[in-house]
Each structure stands twice: as C-alpha cells, then as structure tokens.
Amino acid sequence: MSSGKDGKEKEKKAIDDVGFRRTWDRDAYEELAQQRLREEEEEEDRELDRAKDVRQTGPKVQRALLTGREYKVNLERKLGKTQVVTKETSLAQSGGYYCKVCDCVLKDSMNYLDHINGKKHQRNLGMSMRVERSSADQVRERLATVGKRKREAAEQYDLESRLKLLADEESANKKNKKERKKARKKELEETANAAEGMDPDMAALMGFSSFG
C-alpha cells in the first residue's frame, strides 16, 4: 500500500500545473517507471515460487520415454479443398490443422509440425522428452539392419539396371535388323530398275538374269 501512495505522490510531483500548460519531470517519471518494473518482476518471482511449491508438493507423474511415431503425418489431406466455416462449426472441422490430443487448431503445416513435436503435445500423450538409452547390442543390431537394407537396395538396383541394359540391347538389335532389311530391299529394287529394258544376254552377263 505504501508503494502505491509513494507512486501517486511522485506522479503529482512530476506534473507541475502552470496556467493552462503542463510541464513534465522526466526524471520523476523515469523513477516511477523503474519502480513499476521492479514491482512486476517481484510479482513474477512470487508466482514462480508458488508454482514451484505446487509442483514439489503435488504427486509425481511417471511418464513414458519418448518414442517415434508409427504413422505418417499427412499434411496434404486438405490441399486444394474448400471448406465452409460458420459459428456453429466445431473446432475439429474448422480451417487449419486440428490436434485431437490437445484439442487445438494450428493455422499452417509448420506450426502443426512444431506442435506435435513439442513438449506440450508429448506430455498430453503421456510421454516425457527423454529418449531411451540404447545399449551396445541394440546399436550393433541397428547398424546390421541398415547395412542389410543398403545391400538389398544395391542388389535390386543392379538387377534393374541389368534388365534395362538387356532391354536396350534387344531394342537396338531389332532396330539394326530392321534397317538392314530395309537397305537390302532398297538395293534389290534399284538393281531391278537398272536391269529393266536391258538385253537378256547382256543382263545375264551382268548378273541380272534373275530379274528377267
């Protein structure tokens, strides 16, 4: 109460009425602002102390360790869709990304991802932000699994590339065969045209007898 009276007195002192004009004592107002800031900080400290006391005296909640998601986050399910939102529309059906665990709506995908990866969402799921410490055997098993996947992917790639190479070679052979056949046919047509109208004896002498 005394601090409030002192503040009012300083405020009265800061204002000096001279006729119709007011002059302001900047030093007095600066001191008043600093005093209010100190009071706000003290109030915040008291609230933090009260919250700390409640946490210490309340029952301790045992939360599960943080685990990975077993589903794929679909951020494109509402892409390109139009939705009518009225006053009667439920929160889950309103625009944005709805989180049924926390019963809240996020306006864009970046905020939604930050939310579902955040501390509040994980605590509502019953998990802490601590992860399980892996043993040496688990690390070796994980490395072996990753190595196996890479080898399988490489073998699959080699098989696909080999099949593609064989298909390309077969296609090239068919194309070359078709071109050779076309060239041979053209050559025979040109030979037949050259032998047309020639003397039979002369054509036979030149090897054109088959076109007689």
How many CB atoms are closer than 10 A to CB 187?
10
Strands (E), the chain: 15-18, 21-24, 64-66, 97-99, 104-106, 127-131
Could you read off the pLDDT tens digit of each residue along the chain, which spans 212 residues? Answer: 455 556 556 555 555 544 445 566 778 878 888 888 888 888 877 877 776 665 555 555 567 777 778 888 888 887 787 878 788 888 877 778 889 889 899 888 899 999 999 888 988 888 887 877 878 888 899 899 999 888 888 777 777 777 888 888 888 888 888 888 888 888 777 776 665 656 666 666 656 554 44
State the pLDDT at residue 208.
56
Q: Please provide residue 69's backbone torsions phi and psi, each rounded to the nearest 5 degrees.
A: -70, 145
Q: Please provide residue 197's backbone torsions phi and psi, each rounded to the nearest 5 degrees.
A: 85, 0
Chain CA centroid to CA 190, Å: 67
Nearest residue to 24 via CA among 35, 37, 9, 13: 13
Q: Please provide residue 17's backbone torsions phi and psi, each rounded to the nearest 5 degrees.
A: -80, 120
98 near 91, Cβ under 8 Å?
yes
